[in-house]
Amino acid sequence: MLGRVAMLFSIIALALFPGCRMFVSNARNQSLLTARQLSLRGTDAMQRGRGQDAELLFSQALANSSDDERAHWGYAKVLWQSGDKRKALEHMNEAFRLSGQNPDYAITLGEMHLDQNQYDAAKALSLDVLSVNRNHANAWALLGDVHRTQKDWPSALECYHHALLVRSDFPKAQYAIADIYRKTGKPERALATLDHMVDLHAAVSEESEHLLLRGLTFADLERPEEAKELLARCSERLPIEQWSQQVQVIEAQARLADLVQARMAMGRIPPEHASKPEVQRLKNRLDSDFIRLAKTESAKSLPGDKNLEAPELIPGVYLAEPGKLPTLAR
């Protein structure tokens, strides 16, 4: 009797088992579908600049299914922007794995590795993409970025020119080439590259990156007035998160003795970065330059032995607060 009951239960279990598997499979598919819908909404929010909404949507997508590569990709993007780069790398790695090594994800992952000075990982990813597709412009640009970061200028230029052969209008590669020419003592070629970009798209002349490179190039070409004007405009337009580019502006303005503009640019560096060594070094340099200028001007204005007296401050220059326009004393 017991044997018959056991056999009956076995038959029932075998009959139900495929149905159980189907039920579980359907549930997983529904979770993945929900995750993908949330990922699409997250991508839209990210493109509209709503970072917090995007982060919430991508995290909800992952809560529904950890198998959605786009959710990992989007979550990595928002984490990277918020500064959690270690966790962002983990999610981008997972997106790359789940996508079957999507080349676009490979490039994004490589750029993240490069930012963390993980040169070998970034180089390997770019070469993997190029081994499959030699006409992938972004892969050539990434490989160029690796060589450029390591100051291997010839190899970097070769890679960027490869990228331009694939995509003739490629601002990232063009800016990189102009920067390399400037750094290797060829400002004329840097300026020609920037001029060509303007010929293709006139609006590029007002981009902060273009203004910075053009201003630095004019400084190298000993055209100070044009350099000062461009650097001042660049400083005003730089996004607050690009504080390192603001440092470049200040360094060039100090070199050009454009001290008031340099002081104003210093005021645009976010407080959380004000204690960085490079920022403090520049601030001390500006303070010293203002004091030296004040002494020089006072010495010129005082006759005879009065030159030995303590220098007066220059109204509207030395008293100018960082980030504010100077006002003339009445």
| pLDDT (mean) for 269-279 | 91
CB contact set of 119 (below 8 Å; sequence gap of 6+): 113, 146, 149, 150
| Most trustworthy range by pLDDT among 35-49, 179-193, 280-294 | 179-193
Q: Which of 169, 115, 165 is nearest to 142 (CA)?
A: 115
* Measured CA distances, 141 to 147, 158, 245, 330 (Å): 10, 10, 21, 56
pLDDT at 229 over 90: yes
| pLDDT (mean) for 256-285 | 92
CB contact set of 167 (below 8 Å; sequence gap of 6+): 137, 173
> 177 vs 48, which has greater pLDDT?
177
Question: With contact defined as beta carbons under 8 Å apart, do 57 and 21 qualify?
Answer: no
pLDDT at position 136: 97
Q: For the beta carbon of residue 99, count every other beta carbon within 10 angstroms.
A: 16
Q: Which of 210, 200, 132, 120 is nearest to 172 (CA)?
A: 210
User: At 115, phi and psi to the nearest 5?
Assistant: -60, -30
For residue 27, name the pLDDT band (cuts at 50, 70, 90).
low
Q: For the beta carbon of residue 267, count every other beta carbon within 10 angstroms.
A: 14
* Measured CA distances, 86 to 74, 112, 135 (Å): 15, 10, 31
pLDDT at 7 over 80: no
pLDDT at 290 over 90: no
| pLDDT (mean) for 254-263 | 94
For residue 279, name the pLDDT band (cuts at 50, 70, 90).
very high
pLDDT at position 319: 38
- The string of pLDDT tens digits covering residues 150-186 is 999 999 999 999 999 999 999 999 999 999 999 999 9
Whole-number percent of the chain with pLDDT over 90: 63
For residue 238, name the pLDDT band (cuts at 50, 70, 90).
very high
SS3 at position 33: helix
pLDDT at 16 over 80: no
Ranges 32-36, 155-159, 279-283: which has the least confidence: 32-36
Q: Residue 67 burial by CB count (10 A; 0-12/13-18/19+): exposed, middle or buried?
A: middle
pLDDT at 329 over 70: no
pLDDT at 65 over 70: yes
pLDDT at position 10: 54
| pLDDT (mean) for 67-88 | 92
Per the structure block, which two tokens stand in for 73? Answer: 């990709």
Q: Residue 156 burial by CB count (10 A; 0-12/13-18/19+): exposed, middle or buried?
A: buried
- The string of pLDDT tens digits covering residues 96-117 is 999 999 999 999 999 999 999 9
Q: For the beta carbon of residue 161, count every other beta carbon within 10 angstroms.
A: 13
Q: For the beta carbon of residue 90, count every other beta carbon within 10 angstroms.
A: 15
In the block, which residue shows the tokens 């490069």?
114
Q: For the beta carbon of residue 165, count every other beta carbon within 10 angstroms.
A: 12
Handedness of CA 159, 163, 164, 165 (dihedral sign): positive
Q: How many helices and strands (H and E) does the chain possess?
A: 15, 0
Question: With contact defined as beta carbons under 8 Å apart, do 225 and 241 qualify?
Answer: no
- The string of pLDDT tens digits covering residues 120-148 is 999 999 999 999 999 999 999 999 999 99
Per the structure block, which two tokens stand in for 121? Answer: 């990982």
pLDDT at position 126: 98
pLDDT at position 308: 47
Question: With contact defined as beta carbons under 8 Å apart, do 62 and 68 qualify?
Answer: yes
pLDDT at position 317: 42
For residue 314, name the pLDDT band (cuts at 50, 70, 90).
very low
* HEC secondary structure over 282-310: HHHHHHHHHHHHHHHHHHHHCCHHHHHCC
pLDDT at 214 over 60: yes
pLDDT at position 311: 45
The mean pLDDT value of the chain amounts to 85
